[in-house]
């Protein structure tokens, strides 16, 4: 009998262990199915290649989206070329970082050539930084640029040029070097289409005054020897309400240059066209590139911070118990129009505590046509405490105590039966 009881106990333990293992496996399978379902829930990726841009009469061109910095097109974009007055994008930035708009500067002894764009400043004329920047950015006044460089450089245009080049290095503008604050044809003054759109993006995002000025059609300058009315040379502003900047340029060496920006449907694009043969070709090229970008690309946010991406089973937890896996960051990208985005989850199907809330437990990839565009960490939506499990030894003790009780009860019953029989016989 003892042998049979021991066998029964062993079988019970084995069955209990097997049942627990099966339950854990079922939970893991359920979690795996849930994770796969989360990945499959996003539509499968579908290739969507936009048509190429129209042919442009340019030496170089580049196009990027402002908020993400994604470059959407580059044509000879890294070539080092003369850039004319788009040099003033850096002159403005250095000035804004080292001078107050309310400061008043006296014009140095600078005598621009007759072909220079200028507002007619005379030596000693006093004008505010506010008005000098507007004069430099709208009618592209070279005398205003020299005035700012001389005074911000504490009496040295050369010192100011050193500040410009240092800032270019800090911003990672690898194909850029300055030898003039105005952009005249000077040996060693160059940049690239790629660097120009990066610099314009930086100016627009970090300097509210710059952003406001380059969107002006005209302005009135009230400091100086007399009131001046100035007009923006970027005539795209007058022709299209969605155009909002940025800067024109022209010299014999550079040709016609334009850095332009525009906003449609919540997306801002910035382009640069260098070396065009005429003002009309400059405007048409910049406009065609912006229109191509808006026609073929869109700004989308497939993942937002805190978004529920998947659920994982809790090892040893109650049946069906899961923990939420949340996106740790927001991902916004420019995608070709018509593309389907695929989210693929990389995380354990089941998790074992203890784990703190917000612990990183995996990631989700954002795919576009098979290309990984982003990898976002996944974090626990809540703390996962340790689960207390009953061990096999606990089960033996409980079962043994139960069986002992049964044996004693059975023995007592047998004893009473035998006593009753003897008593009856007597």
Active site residues: 85, 88, 140
The angle at the Cα of 382, spanning 381 to 383, to the nearest 5 degrees, equals 140
The pairing of strands 243-251 and 228-231 is unpaired
Looking at 207-362, list the stretches that DSSP marks H as alpha helix, in order from N- to C-terminal side. 208-213, 236-239, 279-296
Token pair for 103: 């400061």
- Quickly list DSSP for 140-178: --HHHHHHHHHHHTTS-HHHHHHHHHHHHHHTT-TT-B-
Contact between 192 and 183 under an 8 Å Cβ cutoff? The reply is: no
CA dist., res. 114 & res. 137, Å (int): 19
- Residue 11 and residue 54: Cα distance in Å, rounded? 78
Q: Three-state DSSP class for 292? A: helix
Please give the Cα distance from 49 to 145 (Å, whole number).
44
341-346 vs 331-336, strand pairing mode: unpaired
Q: Phi first, then psi: what are they for 163, rounded to 5°?
A: -65, -40
Give the Cα separation of 386 and 58 in Å (integer): 65
Cα 260 to the center of its chain, rounded Å: 22
SS3 367: strand
Burial grade of 367 (CB within 10 A; 0-12, 13-18, 19 or more): buried
Three-state DSSP at 275 gives strand
End-to-end CA distance of the chain: 32
Crossing angle of helices 2-41 and 392-425, rounded to 10°: 140
Residue 328 CB partners (closer than 8 Å, separation 6+): 305, 360, 376, 377, 378, 379
The Cα–Cα gap between 256 and 250 comes to 5
């Amino acid at each position: 009998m003892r042998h049979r009881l021991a066998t029964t106990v062993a079988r019970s333990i084995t069955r209990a262990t097997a049942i627990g293992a099966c339950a854990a496996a079922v939970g893991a399978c359920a979690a795996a199915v849930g994770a796969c379902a989360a990945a499959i829930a996003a539509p499968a990726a579908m290739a969507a290649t936009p048509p190429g841009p129209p042919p442009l009469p340019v030496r170089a061109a580049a196009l990027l989206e402002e908020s993400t910095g994604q470059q959407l097109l580059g044509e000879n974009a890294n070539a080092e070329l003369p850039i004319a007055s788009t040099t003033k994008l850096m002159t403005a930035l250095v000035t804004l970082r080292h001078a107050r708009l309310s400061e008043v500067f006296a014009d140095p002894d600078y005598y621009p050539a007759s072909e220079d764009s200028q507002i007619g400043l005379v030596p000693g004329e006093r004008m505010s930084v506010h008005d000098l920047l507007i004069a430099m950015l709208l009618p592209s006044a070279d005398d205003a640029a020299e005035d700012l460089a001389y005074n911000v450089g504490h009496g040295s245009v050369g010192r100011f040029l050193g500040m410009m080049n240092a800032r270019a290095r800090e911003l990672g503008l690898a194909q850029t070097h300055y030898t003039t604050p105005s952009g005249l044809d000077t040996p060693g003054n160059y940049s690239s289409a790629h660097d120009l759109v990066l610099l314009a993006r930086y100016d627009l995002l970090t300097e509210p005054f710059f952003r406001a000025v380059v969107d002006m059609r005209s302005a009135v300058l009230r400091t100086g020897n007399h009131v001046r009315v100035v007009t923006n040379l970027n005539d795209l502003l007058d022709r299209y309400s969605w155009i909002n900047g940025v800067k024109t340029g022209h010299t014999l060496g550079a040709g016609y240059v334009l850095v332009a920006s525009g906003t449609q449907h919540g997306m801002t694009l910035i382009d640069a066209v260098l070396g065009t043969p005429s003002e009309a070709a400059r405007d048409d090229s910049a406009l065609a590139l912006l229109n191509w970008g808006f026609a073929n690309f869109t700004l989308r946010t497939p993942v937002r911070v805190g978004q529920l991406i998947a659920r994982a089973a809790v090892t040893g937890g109650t049946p069906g118990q899961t923990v939420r896996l949340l996106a740790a960051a927001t991902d916004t990208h420019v995608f070709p129009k018509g593309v389907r985005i695929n989210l693929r989850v990389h995380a354990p199907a089941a998790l074992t505590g203890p784990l703190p809330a917000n612990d990183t437990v995996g990631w989700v990839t954002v795919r576009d046509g098979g290309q990984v565009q982003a990898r976002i960490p996944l974090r626990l939506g809540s703390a996962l405490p340790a689960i207390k499990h009953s061990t096999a030894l606990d089960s033996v003790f409980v079962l043994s105590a139960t069986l002992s009780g049964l044996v004693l009860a059975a023995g007592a019953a047998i004893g009473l039966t035998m006593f009753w029989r003897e008593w009856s016989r007597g």
